[in-house]
Amino acid sequence: MLEAVKVGVLGLGTVGSGAASILQRNADEIARRAGRGICISIACVRDLKKQRDCDIAGMTLTADPEKVVSDPDVKIVLELMGGTDDALKLVLMAIDHGKHVVTANKALIAFHGNEIFQRAQDKGVAVAFEAAVAGGIPIIKALREGLAANAILWLAGVINGTGNFILTEMCDKGRDFDEVLKEAQRLGYAEADPSFDIQGTDAAHKLTILASVAFGVPLQFEKVHTEGITGISGIDVAYASELGYRIKHLGIARRTDSGLELRVHPALIPCSRLIANVDGVMNAVIVKADALGQSLYYGPGAGAEPTGSAVVADLVDVVRALTTDPENRVPHLAFQPDSLSDIPVLSIDEVYTAYYLRIHVLDRPGVLADVTRIFAAHKISIEAIIQKEQDARAASVPIIILTHRVNEKNMKGAIAEIEELDVVTSRITLIRLETLI
């Protein structure tokens, strides 16, 4: 068997230690799959004295990342340091040194992937990033290779474990958002500053990557419509359940005749859909393809060994391709670089979807007639209306409305007009509804 391939690691934290442990534990199996061994020879860490969660015997530890990317014996650089500025500099430096790169850095790929992939193509090296989306779930490989015969119609995913944990607890146990967020932080599911997770930024990074691989378009994070889950209340979770739905925080990419939809937001999903029952910190992605139809990819979206599994799988793929003509490797974004499409990305106002609305009104005759009249004027068709009994302690009564699919611009116009009615006592709650069929 050929000599083992030496890997240099930037960051030996949770994911780096997980990947190292897998490489050590499954060394023989990995060598059989790759055709040669894979070993970490050098790793850059912030604290040289810190106790590691993996065996560092045989590794050279350094605090200087440039020693890793310039090491002549290193064939593959594994970037697991996070962030974008320093990571970009070091990844480009590694590429310029003729080294292949494996990364789990979703923000790096979402923001700078176009530049990185162009540089890699020019230098004839590979950049692999399976672990950047949905942890250990091999969704990038599925889109790029397993579904290569298909035209992808749409995909939708629960791709942030923190947000999914919060919504699951709110639904299953009737807990308040703030209470569950504090528990998520205590359990390590959420950072001290959880804004990337609960505001949807993390999911938008991942959706940017998924959409590019699925549709063969450049990475364009700035065009993703992004909403978080901070506005979801327990009462809406309860009403959704009563109506046969669960609220999930979805990333959705859809090809339409007019262009691409790229959006991250909460949505009601029928309880009968498998993805509606993805709970806790788990992730899942549904892909609708023209030939295969729907397929579901489910698993842990984070964690040392689940994410490390995806990292090592990328290492195996790169090692297999070390002697391959660069022009014949699997393209970074699934499509040949000169064949990427400049499909326009639609604004949220151009999207068509169904809606859940909660409207609080004074209990007076004719209120419902006024609301339905405004909907009709904006060409909005109502699927169901539920008018709750008035609580003696409350000044208003909630009306719950489900609509058929309608253009978002029409819906915004109708809501603005309804909120002007003197019988409407507060801002209207709107959550999109996706049947995912």
List of E strands, 106-151: 127-128
| CA 403 – CA 374 distance, rounded (Å) | 13
Find where tokens 């176009």 sit.
Answer: 114
Query: What would the pLDDT profile of 239-263 be if each residue is shown by its tens digit?
Result: 999 999 999 999 999 999 999 999 9
Query: What would the pLDDT profile of 359-388 be if each residue is shown by its tens digit?
Result: 999 988 899 999 999 999 999 999 999 887
21, 249, 271, 294 from 261: Cα distances, Å: 40, 16, 24, 18
Residue 328 has pLDDT above 90, yes or no: no
Which three-class secondary structure state does DSSP give residue 191? Answer: coil
CATH 3.20.20.140 matches 2-136+304-339: no
Residue 1 has pLDDT above 70, yes or no: no
Catalytic residue among 206, 248, 379, 412: 206
| CA 304 – CA 374 distance, rounded (Å) | 53
Please provide the average confidence, as pLDDT, over all residues in the chain: 95
- Give me 19's structure tokens: 């990947």
Q: How far apart are the first and last CA of the chain?
A: 49
Residue 288 has pLDDT above 70, yes or no: yes
| CA 164 – CA 251 distance, rounded (Å) | 12
- Give me 210's structure tokens: 């998924």
Residue 206 a catalytic site member: yes
Domain with CATH 3.30.360.10 in the chain: 139-299
Query: What would the pLDDT profile of 182-205 be if each residue is shown by its tens digit?
Result: 999 999 899 889 999 999 999 999
pTM of the entire structure? 0.95
Domain with CATH 3.40.50.720 in the chain: 2-136+304-339
Q: For residue 406, give the H/E element and its range.
A: strand 406-407
Give the torsion through C-alpha atoms of 245, 356, 196, 69, to 10 deg. 70
Query: What would the pLDDT profile of 97-136 be if each residue is shown by its tens digit?
Result: 999 999 999 999 999 999 999 999 999 999 999 999 999 9
Predicted confidence band of residue 75 (pLDDT cuts 50, 70, 90): very high
Query: What would the pLDDT profile of 42-73 be if each residue is shown by its tens digit?
Result: 999 999 989 898 989 999 999 999 999 999 99
Residue 405 has pLDDT above 70, yes or no: yes
Which three-class secondary structure state does DSSP give residue 262? Answer: strand
| CA 418 – CA 436 distance, rounded (Å) | 29
Name the residue type at position 378.
H
Domain with CATH 3.30.70.260 in the chain: 352-433
- Closest by Cα among 313, 315, 281 to 298: 281
Superfamily of domain 139-299: Dihydrodipicolinate Reductase; domain 2 (3.30.360.10)
32, 109, 137, 336, 352 from 403: Cα distances, Å: 55, 37, 34, 41, 11
Residue 391 has pLDDT above 70, yes or no: no
pLDDT value, residue 270: 98
How many residues would you count in the chain?
437
Query: What would the pLDDT profile of 138-161 be if each residue is shown by its tens digit?
Result: 999 999 999 999 999 999 999 999
**Residue 297 φ then ψ, to 5°:** -120, 120
Residue 223 has pLDDT above 80, yes or no: yes
- What CATH class is the domain 352-433? alpha beta
pLDDT value, residue 253: 98
